[in-house]
Chain A
Amino acid sequence: MSGNGSGKPKFAMCWAASCGGCEIAVLNTHEKILDVDANFDVVFWPVAMDAKYKDVEAMPDGAITLTLFNGSIRNSENEEIAHLLRRKSQILVAFGSCACEGCIPGLANLSSSKELIETAFTGISTDNPQDLRPAYSWKAPEGELHIPKFYPVLKTLDQVVNVDYYMPGCPPESHQISAVIDLVIQVLHGQGELPPAGAVIGAGNSTVCDECQRTRNVKQIKKFMRIQDIQADPSLCLLEQGVLCNGPATRSGCTALCPSAGAACIGCYGPAEGVLDYGARLISAVASVIDSQDPDEIESILDGIPDPAGMFYRFNLAGSLLRSSKAAWKTNGNQ
């Protein structure tokens, strides 16, 4: 990566509450990453290079041309960096599902902070014989130490700062990232135009079903089944076979990878164009195809969906209309 002062436009990528898969997806664009280096001066990218927050703070406002921000806002550090990068960036992209809509970390919004901390520090996978808990400040011989404050309700990037573009996916598909990199480079050379502010980039405008090659007929479901419990027909719509598939509400752009590999869509590309609440759209779609008019029978068919909120909001809870469960926001001191 080139040093400072090359005169090239500046590029930054930062992660907040995320798994790092988005960075892997960027590196997975193979030689395309060399185009990034040829056209940009990479000034800040904690995963790939050494740079400090104070280096970013020292830059003039708006100094960075393009920032890809992945990860959601889980604690005060995430929020502080989001504000800092917003100030320093001309174009801020919510990159990946976490930044766009909360993603898997957002599922923590179903539980209270107390439950989360209990699970993390006393859970079955944790060896914590002294029953230690985190403290926000600690007096050490060298002085008082502080760690970032944990937020009871996880937020999406656009719930704390203005976002210019959204790039969905968990992670965004590499061919989509390449296309976006190409577009930005064309714009830099005056050969293209940026999409309108607030647009979703690097994805389609339709649903995963539209890209799915499986045959669709009339859906009439008497029983919901897990994919591992049936010998699924590889050419027939999975939902039709009773396997819950999030395709009907999910934005296209991934080329229906999971359904073509024999697994149901789990919805990582987020709400399709025009869908205000992802889970609501799925509730509507799934309930419609249940083949029963008897309330008791419907209830027993619905027992086949043991965790509807987790299923329908797997990637979208923090970005949904309700954003979190009552258990999470009540820790907030609101009531």
Chain B
Amino acid sequence: MNNNEQFEPVIIGFTCNWCSYRAADLAGTARVKYPPNVRLIRLMCSGRLDPTFVFKAFASGADGVLITGCHPGECHYQEQNYKAMRRFLLLRRTLAQMGIEPERIKLVWASAAEGVKLAGEITKMVAEVRAVGPLNWPVAGNGAHLDQPNPEEVTA
């Protein structure tokens, strides 16, 4: 990457069919601007978010992961967003041990009416991840291998 160019992070955004996906849609129809760095994936519910998706995103080259869902108490499936919250909190601790900065994973509640809020949160997250820098996890995809180690750098 050229030093003069601004680093453009890749962020995978998981959205809920009943709220945040519609919030993103609303932001679009209302022509609210937000950076194009986030790739939205629609799930039926934030409770559908298997932590595997997050590990796979990071291992496949994502710089950040945004998880979005309905506000507490407003889940279309009663209380699955609470499950998403609990998984997120445990996931964040595990990722920290793996050396993945807390800025790279975020949980945001956004109702279908909150297009402006969602756009604002995305803008904020893109700036935060940009400040942390690229992640470049070295196992892109399943078939890739880590580079051969440089033994000179291994000794204490």
| Interface residues in chain A, defined as those with a beta carbon under 8 Å from any beta carbon in chain B | 110, 113-114, 117-118, 121, 133-136, 149-153, 155, 159-160, 276-277, 279-281, 283-284, 286-288, 290, 292-293, 295, 298-299, 302, 305, 307-310, 312, 320-327, 329-335
Contact = CB atoms under 8 A, between A and B. Distances in A.
B149 A295 contact: no
B59 A302 contact: no
Interface string B53-72: 01110110000000000001
Contact of A117 (B52, B145, B155): B155
B30 interface: no
7 contacts: A133-B155, A150-B154, A159-B146, A279-B55, A295-B85, A309-B94, A326-B137
A308 B100 CA distance: 14
A150 B59 CA distance: 24
A156 B66 CA distance: 31
A286 B90 contact: yes
Contacts of A307: 97
Nearest to B90: A287
B83 A287 contact: yes
A307 B86 CA distance: 16
Nearest to A307: B97
Contacts of B56: 276-277, 321
B99 A325 contact: yes
B87 A284 contact: yes
A153 B138 CA distance: 11
Contact of A332 (B82, B89, B150): B150
A91 B149 CA distance: 29
Contact of A114 (B87, B139, B156): B156
Contacts of B91: 283, 287
Nearest to B72: A293
A308 B93 contact: yes
A155 B83 contact: no
A286 B86 CA distance: 9
